[in-house]
Amino acid sequence: MGDWLLALPLLWMTLAIFAAAYLVAAGVYLVVVGLAVNGRARVFKAFSPEMLTPLGVIFGLLVGFVALQTWNDFDKAKVAVDTEASALRVVLVLDQSLPEEQRIRLHTLINRHIDEAVNREWPAMAQHLLTLASPPTALVEALQYTVSLKPQDESQRMAQQEIMAALNRALDARRQRIATGVGPVQWAAILLLGLCMLIAIAIVHSGNRRTCAIAVTLFATSIALSALLIAAYSRPFTGAISVGAELFTTLPVPRQQSI
């Protein structure tokens, strides 16, 4: 499924998907009805309607599995963003026990990570271009810096341990929000199987043009609805239904310390 389509507003995405489905259905109808003459008509009539049942079951299972994965990925992306923002907020609360110089350094690194996430990672995730091969340098530096600290008392020691745990949670949550999305092979399987179903339905009903047109239109509508439900959620950071970076931009980090 093209990135341009997934980035459309929901209304335009709906119109584009339904228009494409009906256009393909019309093409299938015209081709099958046009071929259903003379000897080919007898061949089409010999096509068993019972074939529609296994094809329909396979199509339904495929759509169900992909839709379930899509919605689970979307929920995981929301939870991951929430967890990462919450972990960063914990760091900003706990670093109050540290000396001012160390606190400023941590604020600077956290602020840099937020700017990177909002301005670079979110657009890359929207286009499905960000991978785990791109490390969060500011977050890693913050963890390394926290490990290197020399606590002066018990409160600082406890704060250091909690900050390291929070930074590790943030790193893990970032990995979770990157690894989401429906792959091109899954889209190809759904669309090709849907096309096979349209052709099979048109062949079975090719003896009656009106019945054929109604059956093909109804199934094209089902394909369009299934594709819309999956497409709207298939990229958690793309389109009208997406996970935004608001939780990051509202974190109370002093902006004058950014680098």
Percent of the chain with pLDDT over 90: 46
Q: Compare 256 and 136 and report the one with higher pLDDT.
A: 136
**What confidence score (pLDDT) does residue 257 get?**
43
State pTM to two decimals.
0.77
Q: Would you say residue 27 has pLDDT above 60?
A: yes
pLDDT at 22: 96
Examine the pLDDT at 80 and tell me if it is beyond 60: yes
Q: d(Cα 56, Cα 230) in Å, to the nearest integer?
A: 18
- For residue range 212-251, list pLDDT tens digits in order: 999 999 999 999 999 999 988 888 887 778 888 888 888 8
6, 231 in Cβ contact below 8 A? yes
Distances (CA, A) of 149 to 88, 127, 161, 179, 196: 18, 38, 10, 32, 63
10 Å CB burial of residue 153 (0-12, 13-18, 19+) is exposed
C-alpha 133/C-alpha 216 separation (Å) is: 45
Q: Is the pLDDT of residue 71 over 60?
A: yes
Residue with tokens 């256009």: 23
Domain boundaries, the chain: 3-252
* pLDDT, mean over the chain: 87
Element (H, E) at 183: none
Q: What is the pLDDT of residues 144-190, one digit of tens each?
A: 999 998 888 888 899 999 999 999 999 999 988 886 666 778 888 99
Question: Which pLDDT does position 1 carry in this prediction?
Answer: 60
So what's the pLDDT on residue 227? 92
pLDDT per position as a tens digit, 103-141: 899 999 999 999 999 999 888 887 777 777 788 999 999
| pLDDT computed for residue 244 by the predictor | 86
- pLDDT score, position 140: 93
Q: Would you say residue 2 has pLDDT above 70?
A: no
Average pLDDT over residues 68-72: 89
What are 231's two structure tokens? 């497409």
pLDDT value, residue 95: 84
